[in-house]
Structure 1
C-alpha cells in the first residue's frame, strides 16, 4: 500500500454504520452536522455506533434504585439532576470542549431534562446517542489534526501574537466546525512549539504527534458498548458523590483495581480524568513512591516498555492503561507525564520505574530521633513515620502471634524510643492515605486511657461509636502529629482524635477531607461502589470535606485546588452531630499563640522555609497562568525564565547544604534522575518539616514543663481549679 493509500484510509470519512440500531435522536444528531470530506477510492474505516444491551438496561435500573434508596445522600431523580447528569456526561466525554460545537450542544440539549426519567427505567439510548455523536466528532477532529500534519508543520506560523487557553473546561463551546478547525490548528502549534523548545527536530515531532493522534483515532473506532455504559453510569452515580461509581464486569474481575485502582507493578493509585489517566496517590513502599519522581495529579500521556516505542494512552480506558503499565518484576516501564506543576499540557517529562511488588514490610512504621539544643538544654525528640494503616489479615486469621500491624509496630517503636530517653514524640502521617479503620482506632488507644475514637453515621442516621477499651497507654508524653493534604481517611481519624482529646498538637497542612465509607455491591452486570456512611470526630464534626485543620500550619507544595475532597465535584458537605463524652488531657489555649509566634519567627529566619515559600510562589504563578503564547520568541523567553527560576531555587538549596551549584538545567535533571534511582535518598522538605515538628515540641517543653509528663484528667482538673 502506498503512502497516499495509507493516508486515504486514515483520513477517510466515517459513516453512520448500523443506523438501524439507533433511534430517531441518533439520526437527528448525526444528520445535524454532515462531514464535508469526500469519499476516497480506498474503502474507508467506518465507525459503528454502539448500542445498549439488555443486561446493561437491567443494571441501570438496579443502580438507580440503589442510589435513591441506599446512598448516604438523600437525592431524588429530578429535572435538575437530569440536567446535572447531562453536564457531567459531556464533561467526561469532552471536558476541554475541543470536539463538540455549539450546534452539537444545542441538538443534544433536547434530551437534557429527559435523562433522569429514562435512567429510572433503564432507557439508555439517549445516553448512547450522545456517546456516539461525541465519538464521531472525536474522529473528525483527529482526522483534521493528521491532515494538518500531512500538510507540513513548516507551514505553521509562530511569529503571530496568538495565545491559547490552557484550561477550556469553562470556555464557551466553539460555534461551528470552522472555529474548531482554528482551535485545533492552535493546539497543534502549541504541541509543536513545546517539543521544538525541548530540542526535538521536526521529523521527530511529526512522528510523535502522528503516533499520538493515530493511537487516539484507533481507540475511537474501537469504542465498545461497555465504554459508553460505564461513562454514562459514572456521570449518573457521580451526582451522589465522587466516590460512588460503577465498575464494569472487566474492572470487577480484579479486586485491587475494583477497590483502589492500585496498579500491580509500580504502586500508584489512578483514576480517569477526562481523556487522561491521572495519578491520585502513590502506594507507600511501592516502586513509584521509592523512585520519587511520579507525583499526585500528574497525568499520563504515554507508556513505554523496555526498548520499545512509547504508546500514547490519551483517550484510553483506565483498565487498558492499567494493563499496559503492569508487567513482570524487575522490568522497566517508562511513563511520559504532564507534571502536576505544569501549566501547559504539552510540557511533559519521562519517568522510568522498575516494576516490583509492594511488600508489607516496606509500608511499615519506622523511627528516628532529632537532637535539639535550646540555650544549653538538650532535647531528644522521637519521630515515628507511618506510611499507611496496615494489618496482615492473613497472618492474623491464621493465628500468628507475630503478625504485623500498624498499632503493634508503633507500640514496639515507642518502647524503643523510650529506652533511648526521648523527651517528646512526633508522629508523621504525611502522605498517609489511610487503610484499616480498626488500626486507626487501636492506634489512638496507645495514647489515651479509654474512650471513643470515631463516630460512624449511616443513611438512616444511626450512629455507631468505635471505642478504645484498653486502659493501658503506650505513651503519655508530649505529642505532635504531622499532616499534609495527602493525609486521608484513617489518618484524619487519628489526627482528629488526638486533637479533640487535647492529647497533642496537629502540625502541617489541612488534610484531604475523605470522611466517607464505601461498600461494593454486586449487580447483574458489574458492581456498584456506593457511599453508605460518614465519619465524625468525637467532638461531633465530620472529617468529610473539611478534613483536619492543623493547630500550626506549614505551607506545602501540593495544590489544594486540585487535590482534596473539596476539589471534587458533588462531594458530600461537612456537617456536625452530637459530641460523645471524651476527656481533654491538656488545654493548649494558654500556649498556642506563643507556639505559633515562635514558629513564625523561626520560619521568617529560615533559609529552608524561604526557599520552600519561593518554590510555592513559583508553582502558584505557573498554575494561575490562563494562556500560553504561540509566538516562538515570546515562548522561548517564558521557558528560559522558568528554567532559570528552577535552577536558582535548586542551587540555593544546594548552597545551604554546602554542595556545588548546577551549571545548567540539564545537569540538575540528570542529578534528579540519579537521586530517583537511589532509593536511599531523602526528601529535603520531609527533613525540614520534621525538624520543625521537633522545634515545636521543644517549644512546648520550654513553655510548659507540665508537658514533660501529661497530666491525668484528675490532676488537670485539680490544677485548673487551683489556678
Structure 2
C-alpha cells in the first residue's frame, strides 16, 4: 500500500495541474473578451490582484474562523502577484489556496465532530462579538476548539430563541430543546463542510469558479462567469413543471434561495405565509427526505421543489425579522393568467383613476408576436379608458427590470415620436434609441411610482417619462443601474459563458442614471429606503458621468407642474401617515446600523437580543397592512371576465388586497386631482 501512495499523490497533483491549466486557459479567454467588449475594461495590474485576493478570502472564510494567521500569511504572498501569474499564464498559485482551504475544512470537520461528546455550559461568562467590518485573520492552531464551542453555543441558543416569543416556555423546556438544536446545528455545520469536501467536481473546480467569477466582478458588479451547471438547471426548472407551488424563487449574492414573486391564486399565496425576500432554508417531502439548503446542491433542491414526483412539499422559511416558519404545500396544476400586468379602478373623494401594476418588463423572446409587457399595458389602458378614468398611475415599485426593448416600446405608448435614450459602447459610439411610431396610446395625466428596488428597464422608462415631462415621478430614488449586459460564450463549445457589461445607457439629456438613479419629482417616505442596497454599494460599480449627445427631443408641458409638486409636498409634510412612515424608516435605519453586541452566551441574553426588534417588526407589519382608504374595484371588462371564473376571481382578489394597502396610491390620486383641478 505504501508503494502505491506516491503514485496516487502524483496522480492527484497531475489532475490538479490540468485544472489550473484550464483555469488559466479560461481566464485568458475571458480577459480577451473583456478587453475587447467590456464597456470600460481595466488593465491587469496590482489592483486586480488585491481585489481578487481579498474577495477570494471572504468567500473562503467570511467568518474568519477556519484559517489560522499562519495560513493566511502563507496565502498573503499572492495578494499583489495574481496579475503577474495571469500575464505569465501560470495558475499554479491555486494549489496553495486548494491545499490550505482543504486543510482548514478538514480541521473544522474534526473539531465539530468532537463537539458531539461535549456538554456545553450555558451559564458561563463567555460572550460573542459582532462587527460590520471583517475581523482579522488572527487565530492560532489552539484557538479553534474555543472558537467553535462558542460559535455552536450561540447558534444553538439563537435557534432555540427563534422558536417562540414566549421565553418562559422555552426556558422550561430548554434541556430537551437544547439536545435537538445541538444535533441540528452540528449536523448543519458538518453538512456544509462535507458538501464542499465531497463535491463531485472537486474542491479545485470550486476555487476555479470563484476565481473566474471574481475576475469578471473586478470590471463591474454585473459581469459574471458561469457554466451550464446546477444554477441553470435549478432556475430553468421554474418553467418546466406541470404541477406548481405557485412560487417563484431565485438566488441572492450569498447563493441562498429566496422567495421572489408569489403567484396569485396558487398554493403559496393561499397559505398567506410567504413574502418576497423570505429565505428558504430547508425543504422536505412526505417520504421522509429533507435537505438543508445550506449544504445541499442546487440541482437536488430544484428536483425536490419542482419535480412532479414530489406533490407535497414542506418548506422552512427564515423571515426578514429572523423568525422561522414551516409551511406545508400541495402542488396544483396552475392555470396561466393572461398576463403579468394588471389594473384596477382606484377612487378617492370623487376622483377616479386607473392603477396599472407592472411587476417586470417581460417579453416573449421565442415568439415573433407583439406579446409582451408593453402590449399588455396598452390592453389595460384601453380597459381603463373605457371606464372614463381621470388619470393613470403606473406602479414600478420593486420592478427589477427586464427586456429593454419592452421598455422602449412602453415609452412609445406615452410619448410621440422621438429619441428615448442613448446607448454608448466602449468605443464611445452613441446609438440613439428612438420611438419610431407616431401617436400615443394615452394622452392624459400620468403618475409613475418608483422606489430603491426599481432598476434597469424601470429606470429607463421612468427617466424617459421625466425627461419628456410626460409624467410626474413619485416615490424614492431608484437603484442606479444604467448598464446593459450580454451573455457571450467563450468559445464555440458553448460550455463556458460570461455575462458582460458592454454598453451604458444615458438619458436623452446626456445625463447618466448610473449610481445617481432616477430622482423622483416628489419624494415619499418609504420603509427600508434608508437601508436599500443600491448600485453605489458595490465596490466595482461604474461611475456616473455626463455626455454631450446629438439627441434632439421636445419635452411636453405639464401645466402648473410646480404648483402640483408644491401642493403634494405640503400634504406629505403634514400627513400623519407619511410622518409615521418617515419615523418608522428612521427606526429601521437605526436597527440595521447600530453596533451589536457583545452578547453573553446565556439563554436570557440571546433571547433578549433576538426579540428586541419584535415591537418594531410588529409596527412595520401593522403599517404595511393598513388599508389606504382608497376604494379599489375591477374594470368593467374584468368584472365580466371573472364573474364565471373562480380562478381569475381568486387572482384578482389576491392582487386587490395588496393594492388596497398601498400607502402611495392615495397621494397619486391627489396629484391627478390637482392636475385636473388646476386646468379648469
TM-score class, shorter-chain normalisation, is 0.7 to 0.9
**Inter-partner Cα distance in structure 1 for 2:463 and 2:178:** 55
Q: Is the 8 A contact 1:216 1:313 kept in 2?
A: no
Q: Is residue 345 of structure 2 the alignment partner of residue 369 of structure 1?
A: yes
State the secondary structure of the residue aligned to 1:634: helix
Q: Which of 592, 596, 612 is the matching residue for 1:623?
A: 592
Residue 679 of structure 2 corresponds to which residue in structure 1?
Answer: 705
Q: Is residue 157 of structure 2 the alignment partner of residue 193 of structure 1?
A: yes
Q: Which of 489, 509, 526 is the matching residue for 1:539?
A: 509
Q: What are the equivalent positions in structure 2 for 1:237-636 lying under 5 Å apart?
A: 237-250=216-229, 254=233, 266-273=247-254, 276-277=255-256, 279=258, 281-282=260-261, 290=269, 298-306=278-286, 308=288, 310-314=290-294, 321-328=301-308, 331-342=311-322, 348-350=324-326, 361=337, 363-373=339-349, 378-396=350-368, 404-524=371-491, 525-558=495-528, 561=531, 563-579=533-549, 580-586=551-557, 590-591=562-563, 593-603=565-575, 605-606=576-577, 609=578, 612-613=581-582, 615-628=584-597, 629=599, 630-636=601-607
Q: Is residue 49 of structure 2 the alignment partner of residue 82 of structure 1?
A: yes
If the length of structure 2 is used for normalisation, what is the TM-score? Answer: 0.82
Q: Is the 8 A contact 2:17 2:92 kept in 1?
A: no
Per mean C-alpha deviation after superposition, the further-off stretch among 246-255 and 447-456 is: 246-255
**Inter-partner Cα distance in structure 1 for 2:373 and 2:592:** 37
Q: Is the 8 A contact 2:564 2:674 kept in 1?
A: no
Residue 235 of structure 1 corresponds to which residue in structure 2?
Answer: 214
**Inter-partner Cα distance in structure 2 for 1:316 and 1:690:** 43
Displacement of 1:451: 0.8
Q: Is the 8 A contact 1:479 1:503 kept in 2?
A: yes
**Inter-partner Cα distance in structure 1 for 2:238 and 2:310:** 25
**Inter-partner Cα distance in structure 1 for 2:395 and 2:327:** 27
Q: Higher relative contact order at CA 8 Å, sep ≥6: structure 1 or structure 2? A: 2
1:354-386 Cα deviation digits (max 9, x unpaired): 66798763652111122122xxxx311111111
**Inter-partner Cα distance in structure 1 for 2:464 and 2:566:** 23
Residue 189 of structure 2 corresponds to which residue in structure 1?
Answer: 213
1:407-427 Cα deviation digits (max 9, x unpaired): 222222222222222111101
**Inter-partner Cα distance in structure 1 for 2:357 and 2:141:** 55
Q: How has the CA–CA distance of structure 1 residues 286 and 326 changed in structure 2, closer, same or farther, with 3 Å as cutoff?
A: farther
Residue 99 of structure 1 corresponds to which residue in structure 2?
Answer: 66
If the length of structure 1 is used for normalisation, what is the TM-score? Answer: 0.78
Q: Is the 8 A contact 2:420 2:507 kept in 1?
A: yes
**Inter-partner Cα distance in structure 1 for 2:534 and 2:328:** 27
Residue 644 of structure 2 corresponds to which residue in structure 1?
Answer: none
**Inter-partner Cα distance in structure 1 for 2:301 and 2:654:** 26
**Inter-partner Cα distance in structure 2 for 1:542 and 1:288:** 43
1:47-69 Cα deviation digits (max 9, x unpaired): x9896154443222111221223
1:416-450 Cα deviation digits (max 9, x unpaired): 22222211110111122222222111111111111
Q: Is residue 29 of structure 2 the alignment partner of residue 62 of structure 1?
A: yes
Displacement of 1:161: 6.2
1:545-569 Cα deviation digits (max 9, x unpaired): 2221111222333466453322233
**Inter-partner Cα distance in structure 1 for 2:259 and 2:54:** 23
Aligned length: 630
**Inter-partner Cα distance in structure 1 for 2:268 and 2:39:** 34
**Inter-partner Cα distance in structure 1 for 2:234 and 2:408:** 25
Q: Is the 8 A contact 1:102 1:174 kept in 2?
A: yes
**Inter-partner Cα distance in structure 1 for 2:506 and 2:238:** 23
Q: Is the 8 A contact 1:390 1:439 kept in 2?
A: yes
Per mean C-alpha deviation after superposition, the further-off stretch among 457-466 and 649-658 is: 649-658
Q: How has the CA–CA distance of structure 1 residues 645 and 16 changed in structure 2, closer, same or farther, with 3 Å as cutoff?
A: farther
1:180-235 Cα deviation digits (max 9, x unpaired): 44332222121111222224712321231132123113213214132221111111
State the secondary structure of the residue aligned to 1:246: strand
Q: Is the 8 A contact 2:530 2:585 kept in 1?
A: no
**Inter-partner Cα distance in structure 2 for 1:69 and 1:20:** 39
**Inter-partner Cα distance in structure 1 for 2:625 and 2:34:** 54
